[in-house]
Amino acid sequence: MGFPLGAVGLSIVEKPTPEGEAELVAACIAGDQTAQRTLFRREYPRVHATVYRILGPSRDQDDLVQETFIAVFRGLGRFRGESRLSTWIDRIAVRLVFDHIRARGKTPVPLGVVDHEESGSVEIDAQAHARDGLRRLYAALGQLVPEQRMAFALYAIDGRSIAEVARLTGVTAVTAKLRIWRARRELMKRAASDPVLKEQVLS
């Protein structure tokens, strides 16, 4: 079964897409390329956003999104409908990102202040300040153990509930909550001498 990335954006006449999640999955498994394109287009924006919010700006982001959908289409035959398809796909994405972060290890990033040009524009200065804050946040996240980083990013950046974090990472809600708390505690320690980072942690 070919991976339908290249078909995205093509303007072609397509036959009707099966209605309902079970029908869509069955059609994808059967090799229906229209169904495969439909599933990819429907799920891609959320998966891409989740990977970005966990990983931050990274050259590996697009590769991980593509690996997610390769794994999705290869594994659809094992999907039993015990959870929503979107949840099942998100678990695959989260697992791949977690494995990537764990393999990469801690990633120290210099936290020097971003140079600002004398533009005289409040808007440009605000945008530069926001980019600097985001860079500092992901640099600090890169110092956390992978389990804490994943839980915090899913909860505080991706906006998932504690129950969702638990489901996506395969732990209990209590464990998920504890990981989030420990991550925030570590971030606050690092933010004690960094007001820009502190804004991000408390926002």
| pLDDT digit string, tens, across residues 91-144 | 999 999 999 999 987 655 444 433 444 445 555 577 777 778 788 888 899 999
For residues 44 and 66, what is the distance between their CA atoms, to the nearest angstrom?
Answer: 9
Looking at the structure of the chain, the number of domains it has is 2
pLDDT at 107: 59
Same domain, 58 and 24: yes
The last residue of a domain, from among 71, 104, 137: 104
Residues 123, 98: one domain? no
* pLDDT in the model for residue 56: 87
68 found inside a domain? yes
90 and 22 housed in the same domain: yes
Q: How confident is the prediction for the chain on average, in pLDDT?
A: 83
Residues of the chain where predicted confidence (pLDDT) is lower than 70: 1-19, 106-124, 202-203
In this structure, the answer to whether residues 95 and 36 fall within a common structural domain is: yes
Residue 124 shares a structural domain with residue 191: yes
Which CATH number goes with the domain that contains 196?
1.10.10.10
Co-location of 65 and 142 in the same domain:
no
Q: What angle do CA 55, 171, 97 make, to 5 degrees?
A: 20
The domain containing residue 34 runs over which residues?
A: 16-104
Please report whether residue 172 resides in a domain.
yes
Q: Does a structural domain hold residue 178?
A: yes
Distance (Å, whole) CA 67 – CA 65: 5
Q: Are residues 77 and 25 in the same domain?
A: yes
Among candidates 47, 55, 58, 19, which has minimal Cα distance to 35?
A: 19
Model pTM score: 0.78
In a domain, 31, yes or no: yes
Q: Residues 82, 28: contact at Cβ < 8 Å?
A: no
Same structural domain for residues 198 and 128?
yes
The reply to whether 159 and 195 lie within a common domain is yes
User: What distance in Å separates the CA atoms of residue 34 and residue 29, rounded to the nearest whole number?
Assistant: 12
129 and 196 in a single domain? The answer is yes
Q: Is 120 left (phi over 0), alpha (psi -120 to 50) or beta?
A: left
Rg from Cα positions in the chain: 20
The pLDDT value given to residue 108: 52
At 135 the pLDDT is 85
